[in-house]
C-alpha cells in the first residue's frame, strides 16, 4: 500500500510539473493561450493626431505585437486581440502576423495608463509608435 501511495504521489507531482510547464509556455507563447500581446492606450479618433506614417509587417515577437520590430500602441476603442485565432481585429478588418500594414501616428513614450504586455519588455518612458488611424490598411 505504501509503495502504491508513493507512486501515486510521484505521478501527481509529475503531472503538476507538466501542467505548470504548459501554463508558462502558453503565457509566453506570443499571444496564444489568452495572453494579449497588444499595447493599448486611450485615444480620441475625433481629436488631434500625429502625422507620421509607419509601414511594414505585423510581427508577433515574444508576446509583443510590433510592426517590423517597432513596438506599436493601438487605441483600445478601435481594436481587440483574438487569442484563439492569434489575430488582431482593428476597425472592421482582421489582421494576422505576417500581414502588411501601414498607419498614421507618431512616436511617444509609454505611460502608466497604457496596457503593456510583459512580452514587450517596456516600461513607462520607453519609446513606442502611437497608431492614430482608424485602419491599418
Given a cut of 90, whether residue 29 has pLDDT beyond it is no
- Render pLDDT for 44-82 as a digit per residue (tens, 0 to 9): 999 999 999 999 999 999 999 999 999 999 999 999 999
pLDDT at 6: 39
pLDDT at 136: 97
Residue found by looking up cell 503565457 in the block: 27
- Render pLDDT for 115-125 as a digit per residue (tens, 0 to 9): 999 999 999 99
Are 54 and 105 spatial neighbours (Cβ–Cβ below 8 Å)? yes
Least Cα distance to 66 among 137, 132, 128, 134 occurs for 128
Residue boundaries of the structural domains of the chain: 39-131
Strand 52-60, strand 100-109: pairing: antiparallel
Given a cut of 70, whether residue 36 has pLDDT beyond it is yes
pLDDT > 90 fraction of the chain, expressed in percent and rounded:
72
pLDDT > 70 fraction of the chain, expressed in percent and rounded:
75
CA distance 137 to 126: 26
**What's the whole-number mean pLDDT along residues 130-134?**
96
Split at pLDDT 50, 70, 90, the class of 28 is very low
CA distance 83 to 132: 23
Amino acid at each position: 500500500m505504501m509503495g502504491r501511495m508513493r507512486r501515486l504521489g510521484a505521478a501527481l507531482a509529475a503531472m503538476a510539473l507538466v501542467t505548470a510547464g504548459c501554463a508558462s509556455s502558453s503565457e509566453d507563447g506570443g499571444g496564444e493561450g489568452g495572453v494579449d500581446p497588444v499595447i493599448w492606450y486611450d485615444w480620441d479618433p475625433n481629436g488631434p493626431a500625429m502625422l507620421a506614417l509607419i509601414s511594414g509587417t505585423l510581427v508577433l515577437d515574444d508576446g509583443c505585437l510590433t510592426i517590423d520590430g517597432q513596438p506599436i500602441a493601438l487605441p483600445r476603442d478601435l481594436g481587440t486581440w483574438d487569442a484563439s485565432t492569434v489575430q488582431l481585429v482593428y476597425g472592421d478588418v482582421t489582421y494576422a502576423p505576417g500581414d502588411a500594414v501601414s498607419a498614421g501616428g507618431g512616436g511617444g513614450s509609454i505611460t502608466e495608463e497604457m496596457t503593456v504586455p510583459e512580452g514587450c519588455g517596456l516600461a513607462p518612458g520607453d519609446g513606442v509608435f502611437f497608431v492614430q488611424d482608424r485602419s491599418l490598411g
